[in-house]
């Protein structure tokens, strides 16, 4: 089978073996999604959730409310997440920009064409390609494919890109391999695969449901 057929088969198998997590269908606002994504940088999922919960207990997470509280209060909520001082300053600055430049909402950005919206988001403090693409895919339903550390690793082990490929090369490759309507589910399912089986250390190739579709998995099974 060719590469696109293999990608589609991988997606089919992942859908059979994983259930999309509950948070996928949550009703978070775009600004809450931005805040969570900033908190998640260099932080575990568990600590990201705890930090956001701490913040949410203090006040409703809106740009207006973040402007009203001190940086110290934000730091206290984010302390569990690591790099909390820097993240608190970034969130304070983001709130200021969203209120002053965009009227307290990201919707005006989301209405723009994909690349134009992406360029504006990338100009915001603390917003890199992954954060921008998460916002555009999750909140604006734009056809882009965020690449996190799990997807980076899985894509290389699957042989979709070589080991030196950077963010943009991986993003473009996966966008070419999958249909736009599948970007969201493929993004989530590849992350779940990376967490459960295709781990950074000691990948569980023998148990992996797609090992027959993976060059690394096939090789390891052959040499077992």
Contact between 158 and 10 (Cβ < 8 Å): yes
Question: CB–CB of 138/183 below 8 Å?
Answer: no
More confident of the two residues 200 and 42: 200
| Percent of the chain's residues with pLDDT above 70 | 97
Inform me whether the pLDDT recorded for 25 exceeds 60. no
Render the burial of 93-116: b for 16+ CB within 10 Å, e for the rest: ebbeebbeeeeeebeebbeeeeee
For the cut 70, the answer to whether the pLDDT of residue 24 exceeds it is: no
C-alpha distance from residue 87 to each of 15, 39, 104, 151 (Å)? 35, 7, 19, 24
Question: What's the pLDDT score for residue 28?
Answer: 86
What's residue 101's pLDDT? 96
pLDDT in the model for residue 149: 93
How confident is residue 220, by pLDDT bands cut at 50, 70 and 90?
confident
Query: pLDDT confidence of 13, banded at 50, 70, 90?
Result: very high
pLDDT of amino acid 224:
64
What average pLDDT does this structure show over 81-91? Answer: 93
Give the rounded percent of residues in the chain with a pLDDT score beyond 90: 86
Residue 148 appears among annotated catalytic residues: yes
Assess whether 130 carries a catalytic annotation: yes
Q: What is the DSSP string of 144-213?
A: -----HHHHHHHHHTTSS-TT--HHHHHHHHHHHS-GGGHHHHHHHHHHHHHHTS-SSS--TTT-TTGGG
The whole-number pLDDT of residue 8 equals 97
Catalytic residue among 9, 76, 93, 148: 148
- pTM score, two decimals? 0.91
Q: Which of 130, 133, 142, 173 is catalytic?
A: 130
Confidence band, pLDDT 50/70/90 cuts, at residue 132: very high
Note the pLDDT tens digit of each residue in 136-167. Answer: 999 999 999 999 999 999 999 999 999 999 99
């Amino acid at each position: 089978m060719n590469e696109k057929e293999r990608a589609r088969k991988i997606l089919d198998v992942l859908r059979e073996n994983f259930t999309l997590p509950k948070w996928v269908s949550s009703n978070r606002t775009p600004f809450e999604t931005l805040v969570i994504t900033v908190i998640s940088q260099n932080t575990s999922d568990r600590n990201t959730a705890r930090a956001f919960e701490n913040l949410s207990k203090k006040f409703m997470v809106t740009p207006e409310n973040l402007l009203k509280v001190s940086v110290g209060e934000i730091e206290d909520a984010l302390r569990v997440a690591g790099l909390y001082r820097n993240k608190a300053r970034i969130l304070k600055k983001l709130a200021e920009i969203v209120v002053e430049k965009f009227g307290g909402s990201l919707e005006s950005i989301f209405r723009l064409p994909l690349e134009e919206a992406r360029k504006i988001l990338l100009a915001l403090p603390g917003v890199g390609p992954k954060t921008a693409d998460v916002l555009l895919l999750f909140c604006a339903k734009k056809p882009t494919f965020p690449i996190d550390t799990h997807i980076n690793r899985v894509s290389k082990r699957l042989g979709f890109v070589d080991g030196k490929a950077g963010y943009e090369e991986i993003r473009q490759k996966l966008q070419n391999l999958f249909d736009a309507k599948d970007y969201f589910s493929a993004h989530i399912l590849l992350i779940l695969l990376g967490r459960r089986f295709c781990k950074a250390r000691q990948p569980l190739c023998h148990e992996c449901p797609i090992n027959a579709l993976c060059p690394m998995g096939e090789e390891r099974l052959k040499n077992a």
